[in-house]
Chain A
Amino acid sequence: MKRYSAFAIAREALRNHMGWERAWASPEPKKKYDVIIIGAGGHGLATAYYLGKNFGITNVAVLEKGWLGGGNTGRNTTIIRSNYLQDPSAAIYEKARSLYETMSQDLNYNVMFSPRGVIMLAQTEHEVRGYKRTAQANALQGVTTEFISPKRVKEIVPIINLDGPRYPVLGGLWQARGGTARHDAVAWGYARACSDMGMHIIQKCEVTGIRSEGGKVKGVTTRRGDIDCDKLGMVVAGNAGHVAGMAGFRIPVESVALQALVSEPIKPCMDCVVMANTVHGYMSQSDKGEMVIGGGTDGFNNYTQRGSFHHIEETVRALIETFPMVARLKMLRQWGGIVDVTGDRSPIIGTTPVDGIFINCGWGTGGFKAIPGSGWGFAELMAKGHSPLTEAFGLNRFYEGRFIDESVAAGVAH
């Protein structure tokens, strides 16, 4: 792999950009791999990358039914934060956030991580108390957040309206090192690094069945033939229940559409991420100048990847209350992604009833921020059989009642 650098740009500029190579190879699938990962989204590719980087396992295939990063990795609102309440969540989200800090250098791929700060607005007395509690919990967990006054909020976000008609801003939970990153680049950067280690990334290769023998995994059946493996990782987000069904077990997730929209590009007006969870809308400004707006989930199970009009109306109404200046903005695009929501709004990362099959799903409405941490922990789990980052997130927590309740920190209306 040729490294990307300022020197490479200069060299290519002198020879009409004919020397750039493909970022990753598209090989034919082999008959057998040590590890197969189903799903070439951020989490799947990160898992493959850390399997190679941390454990030297490179005989790996990542299978993708569509195109790389075309699911929720390319559909989210790119927000990165780690201000969760419970210890296991803070650990994995903060691991992820800290890996984002050096990801561009690590992957030699510019993921445009921008630690511009994230504010979660407190607009009711309950939220004030909740976020003060979160700030205290974060202090114990080593996650830097603080509860700030309305005056500070206004200083950080001048376009905000503190005295909204329904819910005045009473304060905010501020994480200064939260921010955004270029979501596609995260998937592309991992894919390029995985391909460089000799791993196979196979797109347009839908898994149609999972073969196991005597309770142990044998391999998968795909649209491009049978492929065998010793270990199988399922990292398929909204389709997790469907793929688990192929292996013959059920998982406690329900799939719903979550949607987002972007406005026309405007000049820089807001240099941080603002989440208003009571009125339900959140917004940041992309480097292109578009206001990136996150909406709510559909209230019922579906796999439609499109969202619904009344949710757009609710989201936009909330944002106009909070940011009156966006009232005249035109919206450019709207889209939806299928998120897999668990009962306690925390992910499922662990072993399954089938020996050799591991599952990483249930990230619900907030998976993008967790990509590197999730990949780091899941790779350790697949390589060694256990990982301190993921041990609280096993499937057995639903049997044992050890829930990791993050329904507040998840931030999106369910």
Chain B
Amino acid sequence: MLILTCPSCGVTGEETEFHAGGEAHIKRFGPGSDDDQFHSYLFAKENPKGVHFERWRHNNGCGKWFHAARDTMTLEVFGTYPAQTLEPPKQIRDKITAKHPGWKWREFS
């Protein structure tokens, strides 16, 4: 079972207190975008074996959305950070690099 810390209210809780909301840092496309852009926004999700960034919501708590960095092979949680962040903080990326040198996730490394 995952143990996550909500960056909004600071509470550390078990997975059942939270709800996963899919891939994080998705670039949204609106009217006027072409088929490829809509396709990648709606369907072409990251599905890595390893480092993954995703959105979570503190359902049975403060109710706020936040981001988490996690390993899909080992279920290790590298850290959580506020939803109002455009990319993962350096501190979390350094932590991941220490564990998985040379990892890549879309535009981040």
Q: B-contacting residues of A (Cβ < 8 Å)?
A: 239, 241-242, 250-255, 299-304, 308-310, 343, 398-399
Chain B 34-50 interface mask (CB, 8 Å, partner A; 1/0) = 01000100111101110
B72 touches A301 (CB 8 A): yes
| Chain A residues positioned under 8 Å from B47 (CB to CB) | 241-242, 253-255, 301
**How far in angstroms is the closest Cβ of chain A from B52?**
6
A304 touches B54 (CB 8 A): no
A308 touches B54 (CB 8 A): no
When C-beta atoms are compared, the residue in chain A nearest to B47 turns out to be A241
Report 23 cross-chain contacts, Cβ distance below 8 Å, ordered by A residue.
Answer: A241-B47, A242-B47, A252-B44, A252-B45, A253-B47, A254-B47, A255-B47, A255-B72, A299-B15, A299-B19, A300-B70, A301-B48, A301-B54, A302-B73, A302-B75, A304-B75, A308-B1, A309-B1, A310-B14, A310-B15, A398-B42, A398-B43, A399-B39
Q: Known: A254-B45, A255-B47, A343-B42. Is A304-B73 also a contact (CB below 8 A)?
A: yes
Select the residue from B2, B20, B47, B70 with max chain A CB neighbours within 10 A: B47
Q: Known: A301-B72, A309-B1. Is A242-B49 also a contact (CB below 8 A)?
A: yes
| Chain A residues positioned under 8 Å from B44 (CB to CB) | 250-252
**Pick the contact of A343 from B43, B72, B73, B74 — CB < 8 Å?**
B43
> What's the Cα separation between A302 and B54 when bound, in Å?
12
> What's the Cα separation between A303 and B51 when bound, in Å?
11
> What's the Cα separation between A308 and B15 when bound, in Å?
10
B16 within 8 A of partner (CB): yes
- How many B residues touch A, CB cutoff 8 Å? 23
Interface residues of B in 41-88 (CB under 8 A from A): 42-45, 47-49, 52, 54, 70, 72-75
| Chain B residues positioned under 8 Å from A304 (CB to CB) | 72-75
Q: Known: A252-B43, A252-B45, A253-B47. Is A299-B20 also a contact (CB below 8 A)?
A: yes
> What's the Cα separation between A300 and B14 when bound, in Å?
14
When C-beta atoms are compared, the residue in chain A nearest to B35 turns out to be A399
| Chain A residues positioned under 8 Å from B52 (CB to CB) | 301
A302 touches B72 (CB 8 A): yes
| Chain A residues positioned under 8 Å from B70 (CB to CB) | 300
| Chain A residues positioned under 8 Å from B42 (CB to CB) | 343, 398
> What's the Cα separation between A309 and B15 when bound, in Å?
11
| Chain B residues positioned under 8 Å from A250 (CB to CB) | 44
Besides the known contacts A301-B47, A301-B52, 6 further A-B residue pairs in the complex with CB atoms under 8 A apart: A242-B49, A255-B47, A255-B72, A300-B2, A302-B75, A399-B39
When C-beta atoms are compared, the residue in chain B nearest to A240 turns out to be B47
> What's the Cα separation between A372 and B95 when bound, in Å?
46
**Pick the contact of A398 from B39, B73, B75 — CB < 8 Å?**
B39
| Chain A residues positioned under 8 Å from B14 (CB to CB) | 310
Select the residue from B16, B19, B72 with max chain A CB neighbours within 10 A: B72
| Chain B residues positioned under 8 Å from A310 (CB to CB) | 1, 14-16
> What's the Cα separation between A285 and B2 when bound, in Å?
32
Select the residue from A241, A300, A309, A399 with max chain B CB neighbours within 10 A: A300
Enumerate the 10 nearest inter-chain pairs by beta-carbon distance, A residue then B residue, closest first: A252-B43, A300-B20, A241-B47, A299-B20, A302-B72, A398-B43, A250-B44, A254-B47, A310-B16, A301-B72
**How far in angstroms is the closest Cβ of chain A from B6?**
16
| Chain B residues positioned under 8 Å from A299 (CB to CB) | 15, 19-20
B1 touches A303 (CB 8 A): no
| Chain B residues positioned under 8 Å from A255 (CB to CB) | 47, 72
Q: Known: A242-B49, A254-B45, A343-B42. Is A300-B54 also a contact (CB below 8 A)?
A: yes
When C-beta atoms are compared, the residue in chain A nearest to B52 turns out to be A301
| Chain A residues positioned under 8 Å from B35 (CB to CB) | 399
> What's the Cα separation between A302 and B15 when bound, in Å?
14
**How far in angstroms is the closest Cβ of chain A from B59?**
11
> What's the Cα separation between A303 and B52 when bound, in Å?
12
| Chain A residues positioned under 8 Å from B49 (CB to CB) | 239, 242, 303
| Chain A residues positioned under 8 Å from B48 (CB to CB) | 301
| Chain A residues positioned under 8 Å from B15 (CB to CB) | 299, 308, 310
> What's the Cα separation between A251 and B15 when bound, in Å?
28
Interface residues of B in 1-45 (CB under 8 A from A): 1-2, 14-16, 19-20, 35, 39, 42-45
**How far in angstroms is the closest Cβ of chain A from B105?**
12
| Chain B residues positioned under 8 Å from A398 (CB to CB) | 39, 42-43
**How far in angstroms is the closest Cβ of chain B from A257?**
10
| Chain A residues positioned under 8 Å from B54 (CB to CB) | 300-301
> What's the Cα separation between A392 and B38 when bound, in Å?
21
**How far in angstroms is the closest Cβ of chain B from A209?**
15
| Chain A residues positioned under 8 Å from B19 (CB to CB) | 299
> What's the Cα separation between A303 and B70 when bound, in Å?
12
> What's the Cα separation between A398 and B74 when bound, in Å?
31
